[in-house]
Structure 1
Amino acid sequence: MSAVMLAIGCLLLIILPLLGLAGGGMVAGLNGATWGAVIGFVIAAAICFVPGYALIKASRRR
């Protein structure tokens, strides 16, 4: 199960910026595509950071 979650987290780092790029490009052109990609990457990084931080906190408790 852990490997599946890791794979999903890694894929989010690729998929969310691409979705933001496409969505922003459709709505607001080149500038919107840039902002969409940046926002998608920030969201994906946050999604990856939270479980990683929890894992580090749990391993330090022992």
Structure 2
Amino acid sequence: MIAIGCLALLVLPLTGLACGGWIAGPDGAIWGAAIGFGLALGVCGFSAYALRVIGRRP
């Protein structure tokens, strides 16, 4: 789970940067990277939460 969150922090912003730049130019690249980073933080946070919940099981 942690590896998925860490990998998402690299892949999603770069994908957003490339797709945003391809669709809307330089301004779209900035917005795409920001949205990708936000999504990556969400995935990372969810995986950390899931790991904590699993670790608390008796």
The normalised TM-score by structure 2 is: 0.81
1:26 pairs, out of 22, 26, 50, with: 22
> What's the % identity of the aligned pairs?
55
CA RMSD, aligned part only? 1.7
Q: Which residue of 2 aligns with 1:42?
A: 38
How many angstroms does 1:53 deviate by? Answer: 2.0
CA distance in 2, matches of 1:59, 1:30: 43
Greater displacement, 16-25 / 46-55: 46-55
Unaligned runs of 5+ in 1: none
CA distance in 2, matches of 1:40, 1:14: 9
Q: Which residue of 2 aligns with 1:6?
A: 2
How many angstroms does 1:61 deviate by? Answer: 6.9
CA distance in 2, matches of 1:49, 1:8: 11
CA distance in 1, matches of 2:28, 2:56: 42
2:51 pairs, out of 46, 49, 55, with: 55
